[in-house]
Copies of this chain bind each other. A is one copy, B any other.
Amino acid sequence: MSRFNALDENRLEQLRDLAGASNVSTGQADLDLHAKDQSHHAARQPEVVIYATDTQQVARILQFANEACIPVTPWGVGTSLEGNPIPVHGGILLSFEKMTQIVKIHADDFQVTTQPGIGRKDLNVQLARHGLFFAPDPGANATIGGMLANNAAGIQTVKYGATKDNVVQMQVVLADGRILRLGSRSVKQSSGYNLMQLIVGSEGTLGVITEATLKLAPVPEHMSAVVAAFSTVTEAVEAVVAVRGCGIVPAALELLDTTAVTMLNTTGDVDLAPHPSIFMEFHAAHETSLTAELDLIREICKEIGAINIQATADPTERKRLWHARHALYENAVRQNPGKTFYVNDVAVPISAYPELIAYIEQQRDAHGMTAYLVGHAGDGNIHMAMPYEGETGYQNAQALNSEVVNKAIELNGTATGEHGVGLGKIPFMTHEHGDALIAMRQIKDLLDPNGILNPGKIFPEGM
């Protein structure tokens, strides 16, 4: 039996009063639309979808839900990859679709204050006219609230950091309706406990973010791309270490394994050497700097034994090369018609990358599976995209996923570099965190004693 109360008509009526009737929907289409993210995890419909309109309204809804013991699951736009916003216990799905306003662009401070429902791409369109952008790039047009809640990262993290590194202030509503302002607009802060970073990455289980002030970066004047192929993953990683050690900070530093590169050659508009390859992007304020950097990078790759190097500062050529990387998932889907994808996400210290990848390739072959490997190598983060079919296929994908996650943890890494725990990584939390997981649970129980916020996530059942 559920420890939560159902949303009967009486409670729905109260919610209509609190949230505004036009913001409360029990329509089947709305429930369907908010039952599933982009992961392989099973859909589960909420009982009601409520559209958040402002902080005070969110506070009223939470206070009511807390007293009535009704689950509340915040929802950005559903691009997450571990079932993070699936309302597995039903209740209220709190959508931020209507809270998309940019509150203020602080151009001189390289900051923007925004509501959480705006998509990062939409935000960047507005910021572009100020020559600024919000750098974390998970690929999808994820909302800012979702990116903060999951601590999303992506391909530019090696230079610009993850979402957690690009926020200075947030407004957060706690389960009991308390409204907190966390952090300040100063980029440097050493004042009391860092509650902001406690909320970031907590996947909506500790509080609901209703406003955030983000750090921005100037749009780079000059960009270049390098793709270098190596005969082994070990050599490719050696190049990654050497590039990072030379003092040039790449804006992106990706590794694709031979399977992924070969697949791109058949489907993409590129002609890559069929070997483990690193894709790099560099941003510079000055063309002379860029050219000097490209020369140094080329030299480093050559020295380590690159089979093939393509380097370009030409925008069209750079875009063409990177398009192949960006379209990888799309192409993989096209090459595997009728199949579903299981996408894995682990991260390790960079020195453990070759061992991790060797292990993945070995286990993949042992299971007789297809898995495209693409990693944010600069951060030691890797994804396997595993196409599968039917129950057996799913079991296989899940088995390989488990093996790889446990291996990553044993290599002093983590079960998730950027997708969050959601539903899929719950089984690994004790292995990864040990007693720290108990302390996390204590904090959850302190801030959300009735457990209404996004229940069923992060912690194993019964903990």
Contacts and interface: CB of A to CB of B under 8 A. Distances in A.
Given A288-B292, A439-B447, A220 B192 contact: no
Contacts of A283: 247
Contact of A188 (B218, B417, B434): B417
B349 A440 contact: no
A360 B106 CA distance: 23
A443 B445 CA distance: 11
Given A191-B425, A247-B285, A286-B292, A180 B379 contact: no
B110 A245 contact: yes
A413 B109 CA distance: 12
Interface string A416-427: 111111000100
Contacts of A381: 186, 188
A94 interface: no
A218 B245 contact: yes
A248 B285 contact: yes
Copies of this chain assembled into the complex? 2
A150 B191 CA distance: 9
Contact of A421 (B192, B349, B420): B192
A179 interface: yes
Contacts of A409: 184
A443 B81 CA distance: 31
Contact of A220 (B188, B241, B247, B439): B247
B293 A186 contact: no
Contacts of A380: 109, 186-188
A192 B347 contact: no
Given A197-B197, A439-B447, A153 B188 contact: yes
A288 B164 CA distance: 34
Interface string A234-259: 00000001001111100000000000
B198 A434 contact: no
Interface size class of A (residues with CB under 8 A): 35 or more
A349 B185 contact: yes
B285 A184 contact: no
Contact of A293 (B286, B418, B439, B444): B286
A192 B429 contact: yes
A88 interface: no
Which of A178, A189, A191, A437 is the most central at the interface, judged by chain B CB atoms within 10 Å of its CB? A191
Contact of A186 (B106, B285, B412, B437): B412
Given A188-B153, A458-B192, A288 B285 contact: no
Interface in A149-166: 150-153, 157, 161-162, 164-165
Interface stretch (A200-208, A324-332, A386-394): A200-208
Contact of A433 (B191, B296, B417, B444): B191
A421 B189 CA distance: 10
A443 B201 contact: no
Nearest to A248: B285
